Amino acid sequence: MPRPATEADVFDLCFRGVLVYLRLTMIDTVPAELILDRRTALPEDYAFLLKVHPRPTWEGHPNNGQWCQFWLARHTMFREFGEGLTDACEKLEAGQVEPQGFHEWFMPRVSFFLGELDTHHKIEEYHYFPLLTRADARIGKGVDLLESDHHVIHDLLHGAYDTIVALDAAIQDKPDDVLGLVPRMRDNLAGLDAGLQRHLDDEEDLIVPLILERSEADLGMH
């Protein structure tokens, strides 16, 4: 009789779907100095409206509509999940939580995180990025840059995934191996979180000013 699916099985299926999607969206036309793990901000010619609409002016702007607010809220959620998952690993390493309790908290959350990230990227790639590029051709190279980030995110996800699988198995079957895996898990998730934070910041600096300049209705966003 087949065994029931576990949280680890669900995570494995979700993650493999993310990897297939990311491989299909890799872009190789970005200057080396602008690759995700090398840049610290978008160049001005990419974030071409950020000076006109800097971050302090976003909240309360009349063109900051429902779509933009929802999209920014999703980004906030991804940031919080990335930080929370890393923090949980640090607590496990410090002995502040028991491995079994960590496992019960961590596995459903990391599965949800990856699944929501996958959905978020697909909606952007297949709908909103093309829509924005048609609305203003100047954003095109910025969109290419954001898509190229997925190549780096793929590598970061792969490293985190391998360690998550090993840690999941150790907690269930080899508890003596758990503490030896936790530092690698923490470092992998911290690296993923750092790359994702950079990507989200740059994505916002590129797209939000255009929305504020033109409005959601004018851009056809809904």
Question: pLDDT confidence of 156, banded at 50, 70, 90?
Answer: confident
Instruction: Specify whether the CB–CB gap between 221 and 128 falls below 8 A.
Output: yes
pTM for the predicted model, two decimal places: 0.84
> Is-contact 191 159, C-beta < 8 A?
yes
- Rounded to 10 degrees, what is the CA torsion of 77, 81, 83, 89? 170
Q: Residue 173 has which token pair?
A: 């079957």
Domain ranges of the chain: 12-22+48-219
pLDDT the model gives residue 5: 52
CA distance 15 to 115: 7
- Rounded distance between C-alpha atoms, residue 114 and residue 122, angstroms: 12
Query: End-to-end CA distance of the chain, in Å?
Result: 47
- The CATH number assigned to the domain with range 12-22+48-219 reads 1.20.120
pLDDT tens sequence across 71-106: 999 999 999 999 999 999 999 999 999 998 999 999
Residue 23 has pLDDT above 50, yes or no: no
Q: How far apart are CA 53 and CA 62, in angstroms?
A: 12
> In the chain, pLDDT over 90 holds for what percent of residues?
52
